[in-house]
Amino acid sequence: MAPSSKRRKREEYRKTHKDSANTELPKKKFYRQRAHANPFSDHQLTYPASPAQMDWSSYYPSFVDPNAKNNSEGQSKPLRKPVTIADIGCGFGGLLVALSPLLPEELILGLEIRTQVTEYVQDRISALRSQHTSSPTLSTQRTPKKPVPIPPLATSEPNNTKDYVIYPKDGHNEPQLAATEAYIHRITNVDNIMPYRDVENALLQWSMHLTEAQLEELRRLDGIIEIQENVQAWKPCRHLEIASMPPSTHLELITGVEIVDSSNMALVPGSYQNISVLRANTMKFLPNFFTRGQLSTIFLCFPDPHFKARKHKARIVSSTLCAEYAYVMKPGGCVYTITDVEELGEWMRERFETFGKGEGGGGGGGGAGLFERVEIPEEGKEGVWETRDAEEGRVGRLVRCIREETEEGKKVTRNGGTKFVSVWRRREDPAWPDED
């Protein structure tokens, strides 16, 4: 029987979108999605027998280790870093897209059981990567270049701009700083950004003119840079090397780092190379993808509530699944949950709170469970937490993301609903009863 007209149009759109490597974001109407999928059905899924056999190279091609060699079994080259963040039931990928520039140094994976929803997220990520192909990557090897003088700054300030100082936050290496500087160049289209360096040539800050629009764009890198209005005059730096790029790229690097197209790179923040998605049934195969203690963060955003009592076994949070989350999560890692169904929120809270307590629960008695609840900011006050120490700042940023950036979160906000959020930190493994 011939396919219906709507089905044929959907198939033609998806095929054309893939074949042309389209930079246009996909349209949901051409990806027929179902509200639910039975996790107990035998779906036609591809999964590795163990995490060691998982080939991540096609999911994160820019993070493949070029120095590694294929092993004797013909497996592909490993990544330079493992996946550490999982969005289970990622839906249409809103959280993945929001997390990519926020956590540019971490690999983030979305897991979704519905076929066409997974295909939509794949096409969405592919389009975003194509849109950012003009963002160059930077090698970790410095190439000596002839120092050149800095062009003189304009004597008058451009219209509708102000002077700003941008400070790199702690914990970022030189390649990451170089990539960040390249991204600033691309966003601001400024030819003479001034970097200040100390006597050892370490980067201290950048100074530049910014419009309001440019300022808002750079604020997306809140976890990487700090922006302050400059009240002092511009000063020359001690030494500067410039690597010029073609005018079409609208940037110049001021670090003397050679710009090349290679996989051994530190990526420009916002290039969406650190996110990917795969179709998987998490309830069955989570340990097939991740080793013990591999993940630092798990997101469970607006899971299916399965209201009927006979359907509660299909909920994504249960005592059995808490054991698997505890297995793949490293001590100190966090599980973030959010729902607009209060009863489901209480269900998840009770399962995480009690897991590992009591006899036979993995805790070796009546002590504390394997998960402890983490204090979170009230809705609308996440920004206050983002200015605190690293741990609370991360919690504040991620809680804001799951409240504001997911498609379901936006829908709940539009409808005036309530969001029930909880965060659970994985405790250290308890000692065995016979240990001193």
Task: Give the CATH number, domain containing residue 404.
Answer: 3.40.50.150
Q: 325, 119 in Cβ contact below 8 A?
A: no
Q: Helices (H), strands (E): how many in the chain?
A: 11, 16
Any domain includes 7: no
Asked which of 266, 298, 314 is the last residue of a domain, the reply is 266
pLDDT tens readout for residues 112-127: 998 889 999 999 998 8
Domain match, 176 and 105 both: no
Look up residue 75 and give its two tokens. 């497996």
Asked which of 234, 266, 298 is the last residue of a domain, the reply is 266
Any domain includes 317: yes
Domain match, 299 and 404 both: yes
Domain match, 284 and 188 both: no
The pLDDT of residue 328: 97
Domain match, 94 and 55 both: yes
32: exposed, middle or buried (C-beta count within 10 Å: 0-12, 13-18, 19+)? middle
Q: 133, 248 in Cβ contact below 8 A?
A: no
Strand ranges in 45-101 using DSSP code E only, listed in sequence order: 83-88
Any domain includes 345: yes
Q: How far apart are the first and last CA of the chain?
A: 71
Convert 211-239 to b/e letters by CB count within 10 Å (16 or more is b).
eeebbebbebbbbbbebeebeeeeeebee
Within 10 A of 352 (CB to CB), how many other CB atoms are there? Answer: 27
pLDDT tens readout for residues 27-43: 787 787 666 677 777 77
Domain match, 28 and 57 both: yes
Any domain includes 18: no
The pLDDT of residue 237: 34
Any domain includes 316: yes
65, 163, 222, 304: the active-site residue:
304
CA 161 centroid distance within chain: 31
Is the pTM higher than 0.85? The answer reads no
Pairwise CA distance, residues 341 & 336, whole Å: 15
Any domain includes 58: yes
Does 112 show up as a binding residue in the annotation?
A: yes
Does 110 show up as a binding residue in the annotation?
A: no
Looking only at the bridges linking them, the beta strands covering 420-426 and 371-374 are antiparallel
Within 10 A of 48 (CB to CB), how many other CB atoms are there? Answer: 12
Using DSSP's 3-state secondary structure scheme, residue 61 falls into helix
Q: 346, 401 in Cβ contact below 8 A?
A: no
Domain match, 262 and 283 both: no
Domain match, 418 and 298 both: yes
Top mean pLDDT of 167-181, 285-299, 418-432 is at: 285-299
Angle at the Cα of 60 from the Cα atoms of 56 and 63, rounded to 5 degrees: 105
Domain match, 75 and 206 both: no
Strand ranges in 233-282 using DSSP code E only, listed in sequence order: 243-244, 252-253, 257-259, 265-266, 275-279
Residue 419 has pLDDT above 50, yes or no: yes
Asked which of 266, 297, 315 is the last residue of a domain, the reply is 266
CA-based nearest residue to 176, from 138, 148, 221? 138
Does 301 show up as a binding residue in the annotation?
A: yes
Cross-strand bridge partners of residue 426: 371
C-alpha atoms less than 13 angstroms from C-alpha of 354 in its C-beta half-sphere: 13
Look up residue 293 and give its two tokens. 């203690």
Domain match, 246 and 127 both: no
Any domain includes 149: yes
What domain range is 176 assigned to? 138-266
Does 174 show up as a binding residue in the annotation?
A: no
Domain match, 93 and 205 both: no
The pLDDT of residue 20: 54
The pLDDT of residue 361: 43
Pairwise CA distance, residues 64 & 57, whole Å: 6
The pLDDT of residue 250: 29
The pLDDT of residue 220: 78
Any domain includes 279: yes
The pLDDT of residue 367: 67
Does 401 show up as a binding residue in the annotation?
A: no
Top mean pLDDT of 1-5, 101-105, 226-230, 339-343 is at: 339-343
Within 10 A of 114 (CB to CB), how many other CB atoms are there? Answer: 20
Can you tell me which residue has the tokens 């192909």? 133
- Looking at the structure of the chain, the number of domains it has is 2
Decide if 198 is catalytic: no
* Segment among 94-108, 147-161, 198-212 with least mean pLDDT: 147-161
Domain match, 279 and 370 both: yes
Domain match, 64 and 159 both: no
For 347-385, the DSSP string reads HHHHHHHHTT-BTTTTSSBSS--SEEEE--PPTT-HHHH
Pairwise CA distance, residues 288 & 16, whole Å: 33
